[in-house]
Amino acid sequence: MSYPQAHHGPRLYDFRSDTVTKPTPAMLAAMAAAEVGDDVWGDDPTVNRLQAVAAERLGFEAGLFAPSGTQSNLIGLLTHCQRGDEYLVGQDAHTYKYEGGGAAVLGSIQPQPLENAADGSIPLAKLQKAVKPRDAHFARTRLLALENTIGGKLLPAAYVAEATAWAKGIGLATHLDGARLANAAVASARSLREMSAGFDSVSLCLSKGLGAPVGSLLLGSRAFIDEAKRWRKMLGGGMRQAGILAAAGLYALDHHLERLAEDHENAARLAQGLAALPGLSVLAPQTNIVFVSVDAAIAERFAAHLAGQGILISGSTEQRWVTHLDVDAAAVDAALAVAQRFFG
Ligand SMILES: *Cc1c(COP(=O)(O)O)cnc(C)c1O
């Protein structure tokens, strides 16, 4: 059997996002061998296995395979909240800022965005003040939505425990956008289950650092997932022989989780190298995302230089470099050498 090459043409190192990874030959082999069925009927054994495995690993009763993290989060919000409800969410959160306003547009759910602290948390005092009285003037505060990692940062464990306990105490449901929860787990040497504790639902991306081509999982109670399945269908997310994709997810959970530590080491190595260059101000990464502020006088030329040498990143004055399965330590060194050449 032969498989497509990971790269065609001139060598590119793509640091734009951890979503750009291509399936490895072993992952493709697992996909090719997947047993499939019609998942809308619940007949796909590989999807069923992925959902069960993920539910077990994260400590929930059930799971639902969704085409994307955006859809998985939206299904979560739609399942928790009715029309006219609101969710408390960070100003920088994906579920508020980067999902096209889906909860408001498709769910008539009002977001109540609150400014994130520097560590990514939403201070408890702000959350407490934002809860609306039970009065016809207000939307019904229903849900607290957090994110981990957020902007590549680990949400402090003590904060997660405190915020979820507070929410539970006043009858709010809790949702965790854990698109990169696997990075958070590896970086803090805790299990996915420990990272998910206290939440009623979690969304986990398979297509970020875990390196699957497509897919996310929503985890929750059996009753929650039964209801979520209805919303997934309504959003057009019911896929048929999706076991081919689920097989990639299963492979990723089994083989690509521990190795996230390498991405974190590579990010640290990248940050250290870039920090030594003039005109760059580098935030020390906690996981696989490096933020670099570039002197405005050189930003455009520096970004063009990198792109011209096959080093792809996002942004120019505020750069984001992301390490992943397809950029190893040698790629980091190659990128640093290109960056160094710009400065002579
Ligand atoms: C990428 C991401 C999502 C959405 O995932 P997609 O599969 O790209 O739709 C949600 N939340 C966070 C924090 C993300 O980084």
Kindly report, residue by residue over 249-290, the tens digit of the pLDDT: 999 999 999 999 999 999 999 999 999 999 999 999 999 999
Residue 66 Cα, ligand 1 centroid: separation in angstroms? 12
Q: Kindly give, in sequence order, each residue whose CB lies less than 8 Å from that of residue 94, ignoring residues fewer than 6 positions away.
A: 69, 70, 73, 147, 177, 179
Structure tokens at 129: 């003040």
**Residue given tokens 């101000």 in the structure block:** 281
- Enumerate the H helices of 174-328 as residue ranges: 181-187, 192-196, 222-234, 243-255, 260-275, 299-308
Q: What pLDDT score was predicted for residue 11?
A: 72
Q: What is the pLDDT of residues 303-339, one digit of tens each?
A: 999 999 999 999 999 999 999 999 999 999 999 999 9
Closest atom of ligand 1 to CA, residue 73: 10
User: Per-residue DSSP letters for 127-175?
Assistant: HHHHSPPSSTTS-EEEEEEEESSBTTBPPPHHHHHHHHHHHHHTT-EEE
Pocket test for ligand 1, best of 19, 65, 70, 202 (most atoms within 8 A of CB): 70
Give helix 25-32 / helix 243-255 axis angle, nearest 10°.
140
Domain ranges of the chain: 13-19+259-342, 34-255
Whether the CB-CB separation of 107 and 83 falls below 8 Å is answered with: yes
pLDDT-derived band at 3, boundaries 50, 70, 90: very low
Please provide the average confidence, as pLDDT, over all residues in the chain: 96
179 lines ligand 1 (CB under 6 A): yes
Q: What CATH number should be reported for the domain whose range is 34-255? A: 3.40.640.10
Give the three-class secondary structure for 71.
helix
Q: In Å, how far from its chain's centre is CA 110?
A: 22
What mean pLDDT comes out for the span 39-63? Answer: 98
153 lines ligand 1 (CB under 6 A): no
What mean pLDDT comes out for the span 38-61? Answer: 98
Residue 37 has φ and ψ, to the nearest 5°, of -160, -175
177 lines ligand 1 (CB under 6 A): yes
What mean pLDDT comes out for the span 22-32? Answer: 98
Q: What pLDDT score was predicted for residue 61?
A: 98
Q: What pLDDT score was predicted for residue 10?
A: 53
Pocket test for ligand 1, best of 208, 210, 232 (most atoms within 8 A of CB): 208
pLDDT-derived band at 4, boundaries 50, 70, 90: very low
Whether residue 9 has pLDDT greater than 70: no
Q: Considering only the C-alpha atoms of the chain, give the largest distance between any 2 of them, rounded to a whole number of Å.
A: 65
Whether residue 128 has pLDDT greater than 70: yes
Whether residue 344 has pLDDT greater than 90: no
Q: Which CATH architecture has domain 13-19+259-342?
A: Alpha-Beta Complex (3.90)
Residue 26 Cα, ligand 1 centroid: separation in angstroms? 25
Q: What are the angstrom distances between the C-alpha of 211 and each of 64, 250, 259?
A: 19, 11, 11
What mean pLDDT comes out for the span 189-202? Answer: 98
Whether the CB-CB separation of 47 and 65 falls below 8 Å is answered with: yes
Q: What is the pLDDT of residues 216-262, one digit of tens each?
A: 999 999 999 999 999 999 999 999 999 999 999 999 999 999 999 99
Q: How many CB atoms lie within 10 A of CB 301?
A: 12
287 lines ligand 1 (CB under 6 A): no
Q: In Å, how far from its chain's centre is CA 206?
A: 8
Distance in angstroms (rounded) separating the CA atoms of residues 100 and 111: 12
Residue 69 Cα, ligand 1 centroid: separation in angstroms? 5
Residue 320 burial by Cβ neighbours in a 10 Å radius (0-12, 13-18, 19+): middle
What mean pLDDT comes out for the span 13-31? Answer: 97
Question: Whose Cα sits closest to atom 3 in ligand 1?
Answer: 69
